């Protein structure tokens, strides 16, 4: 681990980001979720990036882009004042604090929007990450995506409370 990463940055989403964010989305699912989801489930999930609604969702939410040396390496989106809709980090930088930086920023923004708590429908892969950050499981869900069923867990964190 002797190599030091450049300091990551944050910036707002721009419409031109959609193709690169779709690539991060698919790489993240393909390389990071294999222990929790079948290949068919992963394929169905990744197909969401090919839908024109993908870019519309990013644009309609408050979406932040994490960058290293100016290049996007992850993104997260806040729907309304209190729901994290997406959090994806490129596998090459997974586990290096990029997701934590994105969620810290969304928590601050949600608090600034008056949210008392934040919710997220966390994949089985992301559930441990959110639990370490003080999110508590509320319920299990089954979501149908392109004829496949994927499980996730709705988790909630009260803002302003210690994890």
- What pLDDT shows up at residue 74? 97
Q: What is the pLDDT of residue 160?
A: 78
Residue 133 has pLDDT above 50, yes or no: yes
pTM: predicted TM-score of the whole model, two decimal places: 0.92
pLDDT of residue 2: 54
Residue 152 near residue 141 (C-beta atoms within 8 A) = yes
Comparing CA positions, the residue from 79, 102, 80, 78 lying closest to residue 90 is: 102
Residue 163 has pLDDT above 60, yes or no: no
Distance CA 29, CA 21 (A): 12
Q: Which residues are paired to 5 by β-bridges?
A: none
Mean of pLDDT values over 39-52: 91
- Would you place residue 162 in the very low, low, confident or very high pLDDT band (cuts 50, 70, 90)? very low
């Amino acid at each position: 681990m002797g190599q030091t990463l450049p300091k990551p940055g944050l910036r707002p989403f721009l419409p031109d980001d959609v193709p690169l964010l779709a690539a991060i989305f698919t790489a993240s699912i393909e390389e990071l979720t294999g222990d929790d989801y079948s290949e068919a489930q992963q394929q169905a999930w990744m197909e969401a990036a090919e839908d024109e609604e993908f870019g519309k969702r990013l644009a309609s939410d408050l979406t932040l882009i994490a960058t290293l040396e100016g290049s996007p390496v992850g993104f997260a989106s806040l729907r309304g004042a209190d729901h994290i809709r997406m959090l994806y980090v490129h596998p090459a930088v997974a586990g290096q604090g990029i997701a934590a930086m994105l969620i810290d920023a969304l928590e601050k923004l949600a608090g600034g929007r008056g949210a008392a708590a934040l919710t997220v429908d966390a994949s089985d892969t992301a559930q441990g990450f959110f639990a370490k950050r003080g999110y508590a499981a509320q319920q299990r869900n089954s979501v149908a995506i392109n004829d496949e069923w994927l499980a996730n867990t709705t988790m909630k964190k009260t803002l302003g409370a210690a994890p």
